[in-house]
Each structure stands twice: as structure tokens, then as C-alpha cells.
A = this chain, B = another copy of it.
């Protein structure tokens, strides 16, 4: 174990993750089974992800609304596949105001049903379409084995719900959200490359026609589903009587979609970029992007250093999220370590010698130690830091992409598959049945993550069945 109290990745990846969550002050367990407390640093990261997501959701024409936390149990039971998928994991409210309830409520595991009930009232004519709604909310799925951010009984998320006049409109919406909102936030803001594609029947959302997903690779080679977008067809519209009158006065069922991303993204962020020294944050989601640590030995030095720091950081409020760490009772070394563990992208040190030379020491978190440290002129420091932050953002993305490419293997046989799936993503021709998927999962714990949009032109041989097929899929073990 390193000085920070963080188990190295190579030793125990799973413990490394828990150590980072704890040491960086991201979250902790609570007195409620399976529910975490999201601590200030973790919540600040979530707020930045949320704000990037919310901006794109609004820019693409959606408005936010809010629907009840509780759902009458009968609503959940209306769509056959949906109830089968969610009924086993709901929490039920059976008493309220000191009395037993005639009909129990469930705490929403997702809101298709209560929103479907509402949409049926809101939609009358084709003029009411498309209806484009998003909700930021907490949801609850009673999970047996939980891990902070990745799998918790309660989590925070956004869930989009839309209704359309035609199947094409619904399909276009489903894909637009996947590409322009979800992949865009995860790749550009969180600096994590994602694979995009369709889910198999076995992996799709309970009640959907088709589910699309973005999948990211974590540093142990496992996949993390970072967002899903569902074309619900007319399934929920039929169950909840969501109908509209067409321009030529016919009555039709709407085509609906739903799509969600959650606090799970914070877990993805931690696992994609961090190292054995602690959290590593892309600048765009770093609550503090630049920390300034003053270095001095006596009151005179302190006065000079603090003056220099004040002058250097003038105007920074408009440029960065930054902090001057002026805490008296802590050594510079302690502070360096603390900000490193918390993932602050850039550290500036100012000491008496720097003042004499007109320089500062600049360290980038993504390259720990000497490699990432340089001594630069005070002149032009703000511009240099702006450039550095952009560099770090790009470097983290590039590193994650390189890592994923190196850990993505193409296989032609099941033996090859079984060897490679221990290490990362496996790409292969696939013509298996649902039962074949189950068998692969039982053998290797791997599932089809996506059927990518880009498919080969030439036929190939399914690595399991040996049948000819045009379809190539990505398998991986996943979170």
C-alpha cells in the first residue's frame, strides 16, 4: 500500500477503486443498505457532468419536468416485459401517515409507467408531438451486491421520455440522444472514448423494442455501460393508451423513447483515468482545476509569497475553477498529496526562489512526478495554464483511447475468445442464439456489450457456432 492508503491497481483493482472513492472523498457507505452518501467532492464532479448533460438536453429541444417518486404498483404491472424486469427489485411503501395503504406504491425504479400515464393526458393531436421531456431524479433498485457509484440501491440520474408520431421520428430521437448528447458528454467532457451500438435482445431494456448503448472500457479491461437510449416502439403507448389524432383525423398510438445516464458516470470517470496515487480528473469535470500552494519558511517569506500569489492569480475567477491553499497548519508536501489524491489537474507552487527568478513550478496531475513538472515564467502564466488544461483534457482522452485499442482483440474461435476476454474487449463474428449468449456468459462471465453500428462488408464465421454471418459484435465482462 502506498503512502496515500491506496492499494495499487495491479495488486487488487477492485480494492484500488474503493480506496480512491474513500481517499478522494467521493462517497461513503451509509446506514442504509446499499445506499451511499455522495460526499462534497463526488457531488461537485456530478454537478459538472450534470450541467454538461443538461445543457445538451435543452439545446436539443427537451424541457425538464418532475414526476412523482412513488408509482402505484398497478402502473408497474401494465407492460408485461417491464414488470418482469423490474418487479423483483422494487422497494414498496405499504404504510403512510400511520395507516396501511389499500394499494402499495413502489419507489420508482424508472418512470416509464408514471410518465406514460401522464403523457396519455398531455397528448391529443399530432400538434402535441413530438413531446420531449427530461427528468432529473433519484431512483431505487434493490441491489444485492453494491459498489459506490457503480451499483447502488438508490442512484441519481436523468431520464428522458419522448413521444412521437412515427416510428422514424422515435428512432431518430433515440439515436440523436446516443450520439449528440450521451457520447458527446462522455467523450468530450469526461474524456472517455465509447463504443456505440445496439444491444442484443437478451441485454435490452425491459419493455423496449430496441436499446442502444455507449460502452466504455475501464482500466481492468472490463466494460461499463455509460448510457442507454431505448426505442420503446408502441409498447408503452398501448399499455398506457398514449394516443394522438393524425392530420387526417385517425387515432394512432404514439411511438415513445426513453434514455438515461446516472451517477454511475462518476464511477466510470474514476475507473477510466485514475492512477495509484489517487483520482485523476479531466479539467472539464474537475471542481478545482488549478490549486496554488504557497511555500515559505518564515513570516517575511510568507508575506512576499502571498503577495506574489495574489498578483499571479488576478482575474483567474473568470478563467478557471481555482483555489489558493493557504492553510497554515499543513506542510506543502501534505497539501501536494491531498490535491493529488483529489485529482486536481494543475498545481502551481510559488516559493521565495520562484519570486526571485520570476518563475513558478507547474505540475500536471496526469503525469505524476518529475515528468509532469516544469518551471515556467510568471509572465503569461494564465494563458499557459489555459493551454495546459486543454492539453490534459486531450491527453487523457488519447491515453484512454490507446488503452482501449490495445485491449481490444479480434477472435475467430471460442478458445481464442476465452483467452482474450480475460484481458479486454473481444470483437468477433457472432451468429449465436439467446441461449448461446447465456452459455458464453456462464463460461466466461462475458456478455455482448454492443452490436456496433459499423459492420464489416464481408461475411465471416461466427466464433462459437461456425456459421457464416455478416454481424460482428463486441463481447466483454462488464460492471
Taking Cβ atoms with an 8 Å cutoff, the residues of A that contact B are 28, 30-32, 35-40, 43-44, 46-47, 63-72, 75, 87-98, 104-105, 107, 114, 117-118, 121, 127, 133, 137-138, 140, 142, 144, 154, 156, 329
> By the criterion CB–CB under 8 Å, are A96 and B90 in contact?
yes
Report the minimal beta-carbon distance from A121 to chain B, rounded to whole angstroms.
8
* Given known contacts A31-B117, A32-B114, A75-B31, A37 and B97 CB-to-CB distance under 8 angstroms: no
> By the criterion CB–CB under 8 Å, are B63 and A114 in contact?
no
Bound state CA distance, A40 and B117, in angstroms? 16
Bound state CA distance, A121 and B95, in angstroms? 31
Number of copies: 2
Report the minimal beta-carbon distance from A177 to chain B, rounded to whole angstroms.
18
A90 — which chain B residues lie within 8 A by C-beta?
96-97
Q: Which of B46, B63, B92 contacts A40 (CB under 8 A)?
A: B63
Q: Which of B35, B117, B121 contacts A70 (CB under 8 A)?
A: B35
A137 — which chain B residues lie within 8 A by C-beta?
138
Instruction: Taking A69-B69, A127-B329 as given, write out 18 further A-B residue pairs in contact, using a Cβ cutoff of 8 Å, ordered by the A residue number.
Output: A31-B75, A35-B68, A35-B70, A43-B63, A43-B64, A44-B64, A69-B107, A69-B138, A88-B97, A89-B97, A90-B96, A91-B105, A92-B93, A92-B96, A93-B94, A93-B107, A94-B95, A138-B138
Residue of B nearest to A137 (CB): B138
> By the criterion CB–CB under 8 Å, are B38 and A72 in contact?
no
> Which of A38, A39, A96 gathers most chain B CB within 10 Å?
A96
> By the criterion CB–CB under 8 Å, are B88 and A95 in contact?
no
A118 — which chain B residues lie within 8 A by C-beta?
28, 30, 37
> By the criterion CB–CB under 8 Å, are B88 and A91 in contact?
no
Report the minimal beta-carbon distance from A109 to chain B, rounded to whole angstroms.
11
> Which of A67, A71, A75, A89 gathers most chain B CB within 10 Å?
A67
Q: Which of B32, B43, B117 contacts A65 (CB under 8 A)?
A: B43
Q: Which of B40, B93, B107, B140 contacts A64 (CB under 8 A)?
A: B40
> By the criterion CB–CB under 8 Å, are B47 and A65 in contact?
no
Report the minimal beta-carbon distance from A198 to chain B, rounded to whole angstroms.
30
> What are 21 sample pairs from A and B whose C-beta atoms fall under 8 A apart?
A30-B118, A31-B72, A35-B68, A37-B65, A37-B68, A40-B64, A40-B65, A43-B63, A43-B66, A47-B64, A66-B156, A68-B154, A69-B138, A91-B105, A92-B93, A92-B94, A92-B96, A93-B93, A94-B94, A95-B104, A107-B107
> By the criterion CB–CB under 8 Å, are B70 and A32 in contact?
yes
> By the criterion CB–CB under 8 Å, are B70 and A154 in contact?
yes
Q: Which of B32, B87, B93, B329 contacts A68 (CB under 8 A)?
A: B32
